[in-house]
Amino acid sequence: MKATRKLSLLWLVSILTLSTVWANPCDLKSLPEPVLASLAKDYSGWIVITPNELSAEDRETWRKLYFKECPGMIAGKFSGDREGYALNLVKKVGAKTYQQIVYYQPTESSFTIISIFPRTAVGVVTVLRKFPPGIYKPFYGGKSVSIKTATIGVSEIDAGTIVYYWDQTKFRSIITSD
């Protein structure tokens, strides 16, 4: 009987561990209900970028290097002490692909939407990455910036990165690589 319980417990722990390892980082169910409701209402027809929306080469690179992350959704304390959500949205209209990045900034009771990157026709879809607070130096020279919150990195795979950071009133950007 004890051996059966141990075996059952071991099986349960294995299943829970595997489900955590295989969890989909782009699962929208992880977003709070107000964010999901806003996506359905305010961004109908737009989808959160997943590796499937990337080119075949970029998708392969993403899955090798960043398989635990979602290229279209990151959570973090980007504008203060509470967790907000940056979403990388894409929409195809005819032959054109449009992209926009929005941030759900936490408020006392819900979220405020801030446009980080407005709706723009793009040739290549960019990805989001979360970066830590720190000192960021502009790639092309200039004054470094000390950032006290997490940052939102936007880049093409294997290309330059623009870091968006909160300056206590709005998002600003700094090009950190080419």
Q: Where are the alpha helices (DSSP H) in 43-90?
A: 56-65
> Model pTM greater than 0.75?
yes
Query: Distance between CA 88 and CA 73 in Å, rounded?
Result: 6
Q: How far apart are CA 28 and CA 36, in angstroms?
A: 8
Instruction: Quick: pLDDT tens for 62-76.
Output: 999 999 999 999 999
Q: What is the average pLDDT across 110-130? A: 96
Structural domain boundaries, residue 20: 2-177
CA distance 100 to 178: 21
Q: Average pLDDT of the chain?
A: 89
Number of domains in the chain: 1
